[in-house]
Amino acid sequence: MQKYEAVIGLEVHAQLATNSKLFSGDATNFDASPNQNVSPITLGHPGTLPRMNKKAVELAIKMGLICKSEISTHNYFARKNYFYADLPKGYQISQHTTPICIGGRVHIKTSSGERDIKLTRIHLEEDAGKSIHDQDDALTLLDYNRAGMPLIEIVSEPDLHSAEEAAAYLTQIRKLVRWIGICDGNMEEGSLRCDANISIRLVGSEKLGTRVEVKNLNSIKHLKHAVEIEINRLTDIVDKGEKVLQQTRSYDADNGITFAIRTKEDAEDYRYFPEPDLAPFYFTKEYINSISKQLPSLPEQRFEQYIQVFDLTPYDAEQLTEEKSLSDLFECVAGSTNQKKQFANVLLGPVKSFLNHSSKSWEDIKISTDDWIDFLSLISSGKINFSLAVQKVLPIMLSDSNTRPSEIIQHLDLVQDADTDQVKTWVTQVVTSMPDKVTEYRKGKKGLIGMFVGEVKKVSKGKADPKMVTQLLESILNEK
């Protein structure tokens, strides 16, 4: 039986997808050259004043709404004071006592089932700049492009209990922020980052153990690994009867280890006080409702709908609701065809692998709903068989051609031959050309049927209906 229970709480920073920073008009593009997006406001020059970005507030409220948080109607910003070279003002503007969203939950699925993970809060804050230590032996370089970028910090309760749950939670947050379009979720570029707080306690105990905090995990894989490492390390310490130190640690992906960066005092004194340069701000119920109305239906709802209404498997439904652009595409077409399962197969099979190979995304697919429906009805009416449609017609559709699928198959002379005489000729041609195989088949090697079908497919250049071919072959081969 397991002796300890792991307890994990995550702090996730998501960079909001606004065109300008939280308190200035500076641009937010990631590809800017160093220190390109910096105005005197970002650099904290004397005499400058911050001005709040309304769009950022709206995006933060959206996240709170989909997490079923309570939205604080009365808000103000707070100053969090500390000195660091990448923080030119000497303080960060954040929220302390009045987070914009209170409570809430994030639904996760793991191998042990489904659960809601409780949130403590979601608050708005500005990012700091970036210190770069590895480009010069003696100097630290500073890039202030990131200073003042709008972030939300999503703080969970200590409510996760394994590395798998922590990974599932972050995966779900990434999916949700992308789904509602408030953050691009790009962990490599740092748009989504995570700090993991980990402790262990005896199974059955209510009291939280001393925690360690692993900072700045920038991939889901790293989060999972860092949590695994810490659970094992803490277990060893406690098993030896030693005391866990409350530490801030860092994860070294190259060596697969964590190491202490500082041992934390109980409470850091940031001398928080209400930000005097920004007025408090209030939301009306109408304002919150108007934001709520802009939200799309969520992946969980669509997942249920695809199973209940469209009769898809949970596996297909899960994959189709992985990304909103895919799900939107599916729904556009699924609304006007009975070939829903067929369409799911086309999207999740050949189209998905086309996207992987060409490093494209679902938004890049420009095929119109009408063309999709034309394509699907060509298959369902037997004008072309599925594999030929996928191999020959789909690539042309995906290459942004403006030609209708029904014209493509005419053009390529791919219309399936339902003419029995023609198919019979092909079948006879194949059977007479392979007398040895025919003998083997008749002696009982029935598995050869697939080979014969394949040969007819070659001879007919794919135009013979495989069902008809199989029937004809069987009747010829089985007659003595």
Q: Which residues bind ligand ADP (CB under 6 A)?
A: 7-11, 155-158, 197-199, 208-209, 211, 213
- Name the residue nearer to ligand ADP (CB basis): 11 or 331: 11
- Residues 300 and 292: their CA atoms lie apart, in Å, by 17
Alpha helices in 271-368 (DSSP H): 285-293, 299-308, 314-320, 324-334, 340-346, 352-358
- Residues 100 and 291: their CA atoms lie apart, in Å, by 14
Q: How far is the CB of 147 from Mg ion (least distance, A)?
A: 20
121 binds, among ligand ADP, Mg ion, none (CB under 5 to 8 A by kind): none
- Name the residue nearer to Mg ion (CB basis): 195 or 465: 195
- Name the residue nearer to Mg ion (CB basis): 11 or 440: 11
- Name the residue nearer to ligand ADP (CB basis): 203 or 208: 208
Q: What is the DSSP letter of 252?
A: E
- Name the residue nearer to Mg ion (CB basis): 246 or 301: 246
199 binds, among ligand ADP, Mg ion, none (CB under 5 to 8 A by kind): ligand ADP
Grouping H, G, I as helix, E, B as strand and the rest as coil, residue 85 is coil
CB 409 within 8 A of CB 384: yes
CB 216 within 8 A of CB 29: no
- Name the residue nearer to Mg ion (CB basis): 11 or 164: 11
- Residues 457 and 87: their CA atoms lie apart, in Å, by 68
477 binds, among ligand ADP, Mg ion, none (CB under 5 to 8 A by kind): none
Token digits of residue 309: 């209404």
How many residues are there in the chain?
480
Rg (CA), the chain: 30
Tell me the CA distances in angstroms from 446 to 1, 232, 429, 453, one per residue in order.
Answer: 53, 56, 19, 12
CB 264 within 8 A of CB 59: no
Q: How far is the CB of 354 from ligand ADP (least distance, A)?
A: 41
- Name the residue nearer to Mg ion (CB basis): 154 or 312: 154
Using DSSP bridges, classify how beta strands 212-217 and 247-252 pair: parallel, antiparallel or unpaired.
parallel
H or E element at residue 228 = helix 220-239
Q: How far is the CB of 7 from ligand ADP (least distance, A)?
A: 4
Q: How far is the CB of 82 from ligand ADP (least distance, A)?
A: 13
Q: How far is the CB of 180 from ligand ADP (least distance, A)?
A: 22
- Name the residue nearer to ligand ADP (CB basis): 50 or 209: 209
Give backbone dihedrals phi and psi of 113, rounded to 5 degrees, phi first: 125, -160
CA atoms within 13 A on the CB side of 419: 8
- Name the residue nearer to ligand ADP (CB basis): 248 or 401: 248
* Residue number of the CB atom closest to ligand ADP: 9
Token digits of residue 23: 């308190």
59 binds, among Mg ion, ligand ADP, none (CB under 5 to 8 A by kind): none
Q: How far is the CB of 251 from ligand ADP (least distance, A)?
A: 16
- Residues 348 and 445: their CA atoms lie apart, in Å, by 35
Q: How far is the CB of 145 from ligand ADP (least distance, A)?
A: 25
* Residue number of the CB atom closest to Mg ion: 11
218 binds, among Mg ion, ligand ADP, none (CB under 5 to 8 A by kind): none
Give me the residues that bind Mg ion (CB under 5 A), please. Answer: 11
- Residues 284 and 26: their CA atoms lie apart, in Å, by 29
CB 351 within 8 A of CB 365: yes
300 binds, among Mg ion, ligand ADP, none (CB under 5 to 8 A by kind): none
Q: How far is the CB of 254 from Mg ion (least distance, A)?
A: 24
Q: How far is the CB of 60 from ligand ADP (least distance, A)?
A: 17
